[in-house]
Amino acid sequence: MSSPLPRSGAEILVGGDVHGVGYRNFAQRKALQLGLRGYVMNLKDGRVRVRAEGPRETIEDFVRDLEKGPPLARVEKVSVTWLPPTGRFASFGIRFAEFDT
């Protein structure tokens, strides 16, 4: 079944105090609630990387959630790079190691 809205992709980088505060679980929960696909992972430099695919408006709603983060997080910066969707994600997961995709 295809979505009536055009699909988009985004790479979102989140900086601040976002490691060890449940940020990845928060991002996964929000993405699944919104029906997005992709992944979230911690980066070695202290940021969190999120790759999301779905309707652009839904991704924009997701970014607003990411700007707030879970209660223990202190989000300082969120940057979004819009990309074409790959269609390769079946769901939204947490990745536990930094590597190139």
Domains and CATH numbers, the chain: 7-83 (3.30.70.100)
Element (H, E) at 31: helix 23-34
Q: pLDDT digits over 9-38, tens only? A: 999 999 999 999 999 999 999 999 999 999
Sheet holding 74-83, edge to edge: 74-83, 7-17, 48-55, 37-42, 92-95
42 noted as active-site residue: yes
Q: What is the pTM of this model?
A: 0.90
From 7, 25, 29, 42, active-site residue: 42
For the segment 78-96, the average pLDDT, to the nearest whole number, is 96
